[in-house]
Chains A and B, each alone.
Chain A
């Protein structure tokens, strides 16, 4: 019975981490749009390439934030949460 409970904990943590990373879609689309527009801008005004590139990298990094929140949650779910939850379970069983 205990094995089943621990198995459910581990499986759900992995599942949750996978679900959290669905958020990767958003930054992907957003950064793709940003880079596409930056390419257009460079094509229109090649002399402003360096400024456009700097601004684009800035914007990409900021747009990445939501994806990184999801990543942090996924990392916590994989590396930290199972141990924590199993500890709670063991304390409850005892």
Chain B
């Protein structure tokens, strides 16, 4: 059991941290320092001309790619050099993550969907690390409607794919349940699923950052009003900003961000497994294959 770091470990850790450092450098270079309160959307770095519509490369796109690269190297770091006898701490962590995700997916989605574990883990990691980017002062991609909307669209495509498993007729018929005249409401609720998923995630993160900025600005104003008469440089330091923003940050940045990541993954699991008509699928395949069903044991 060697506790020493090897060269590979150090290289992978550096590669993990490099995208984050690149993000900070990019922010310092590209963004002018703002004065006072500043609540703005994602900064547009540059625009690429496209035939139908220009493609703006925004801060949220760049940051989410940085998160993806960083998480990729982090995964390589915790999984390289695996052994059959668990000897290193990072292998324990990797096994714990795998086991937890697989049991979570199996508990919530059933045996048929057990292949979903990597997807769910990826969604959770991307969402959680994106929200945690606020801790190092970068713009979190999850507080951009477009990023989260894209994820919700992906989930919507998955839901529709699993609803189509019993054929298009069955899919269309599922809108007329329980009674025919509820069809418009069913269509609305079908569309409302991705919209509410996107709004939930984006609204939580954005409201957290807006409230943090407002509280920090208010404390700065209060501090300059009360303590502005102190002599010299003492009067310019906003002493009241010490403390309260940190407590708010624990709730809004860490707790709320991670909770939203968990909830997004959880809702993905519930919607996708709920969309799959297990009983009808079983019946249909019994007729087709003469009673043989593969891997549909405990739906």
**B259 contact set on A, CB distance < 8 A:** 57, 61
- Closest chain A residue, CB of each to CB of B39: A79
**B204 contact set on A, CB distance < 8 A:** 64, 68
Tell me the B158-202 residues at the A interface (CB within 8 Å): 196, 199-200, 202
Query: Chain A 45-76, CB within 8 Å of chain B: the 1/0 string?
Result: 00000000000011001101100110110010
- Cα(A40)–Cα(B71), bound, Å: 40
Known contacts A58-B266, A61-B259, A75-B210: does B39 contact A69 (CB below 8 Å)? no
**A65 contact set on B, CB distance < 8 A:** 196, 199-200
Query: Chain B 202-236, CB within 8 Å of chain A: the 1/0 string?
Result: 11101100100000000000000000000000000
**A68 contact set on B, CB distance < 8 A:** 199-200, 203-204, 207
Cβ of B278 within 8 Å of any chain A Cβ, yes or no, is no
Tell me if B210 and A72 are in contact (CB < 8 A): no
Q: How far is the CB of A12 from chain B (nearest CB, A)?
A: 20
- Cα(A74)–Cα(B272), bound, Å: 31
Tell me if A75 and B206 are in contact (CB < 8 A): yes
- Cα(A65)–Cα(B204), bound, Å: 10
**A58 contact set on B, CB distance < 8 A:** 263, 266
**A75 contact set on B, CB distance < 8 A:** 203, 206-207, 210
A-B pairs with the 5 shortest C-beta distances?
A: A68-B203, A61-B263, A65-B196, A71-B203, A72-B203
Chain B residues within CB distance 8 Å of chain A:
39, 196, 199-200, 202-204, 206-207, 210, 259-260, 262-263, 266-267
7 pairs from A and B in contact (CB 8 Å cutoff): A57-B259, A57-B262, A61-B259, A65-B200, A69-B199, A69-B203, A75-B206
